[in-house]
Structure formats: C-alpha cells, structure tokens
Amino acid sequence: MTAETYTLGYGPASIAMTSSCTAPNHAQFFLNLLEPGMRLLDIGCGPGTVTLGLAEAVYPGEVIGSDLELKQTESIASSVEPSKANLSFQIADVYQLPY
C-alpha cells in the first residue's frame, strides 16, 4: 500500500472548519441511535467537537476519540469537564489500532 495523505491538512482554515462541526449539526442521524451507557470509538475524530456531543449522549459510557494527529484533539481534550470524564483521546492510525 502506498502512503496516504490527509489532503485537507491541519492548517488554521482546516481546523476552523472541522471545529465548527458538532454532533447535533453533523451527526444527528447517529445521535438518534445512542443510549446512555454505550461505549464508542470515534476514529478520525479530528478536533473532537463531534466526539464531545457523542460522549454527552452515551454518558456515563466510555468514549475514545482517536486521530492520527495529536494537535487535532489538544484543545477539546483540555476543555472536557472532569465530572464528564467519560471522554478521552488518543493518537492512533486507523490501520494500526491498539485494540
């Protein structure tokens, strides 16, 4: 397999665009399927703004947001309230998940 490139990149415009996504406005179809206590793995979670809404929907179920690029999740990870600590982030390549 040849190396892949994430063509959107991680520049300010790209981060701003993906950070504007939320679970209600980009994943309502999926929110409808979630119930408290479910466990989720969000692969390619980007900045984690969608992941945060998913974590609220399944609380207290565990949610892991996973992405290739650490910078993507730094800002949201620091904003998660300790009392809502069902959400964590990790760096992982979808082709080599540590599970």
Ligand X SMILES: C[S@@+](CC[C@H](N)C(=O)[O-])C[C@H]1O[C@@H](n2cnc3c(N)ncnc32)[C@H](O)[C@@H]1O
| Contacts to ligand X by CB under 6 A | 6, 8, 18, 21, 26, 43-46, 50, 67-69, 72, 93-95
State in angstroms the smallest separation of the CB of 26 from ligand X.
6
State in angstroms the smallest separation of the CB of 87 from ligand X.
14
Nearest residue to ligand X, using CB? 46
Nearer to ligand X, 82 or 95 (CB): 95
DSSP assignment of 30-65, as one string?
A: HHTT--TT--EEEET-TTSHHHHHHHHHHTTS-EEE
Report the C-alpha gap between 25 and 4 in whole angstroms: 29
State in angstroms the smallest separation of the CB of 60 from ligand X.
22
Nearer to ligand X, 7 or 83 (CB): 7
> CB of 76 within 8 A of CB of 84?
no
Q: Tokens 């730094």 sit at which residue?
A: 74
Report the C-alpha gap between 60 and 83 in whole angstroms: 10
Nearer to ligand X, 6 or 28 (CB): 6
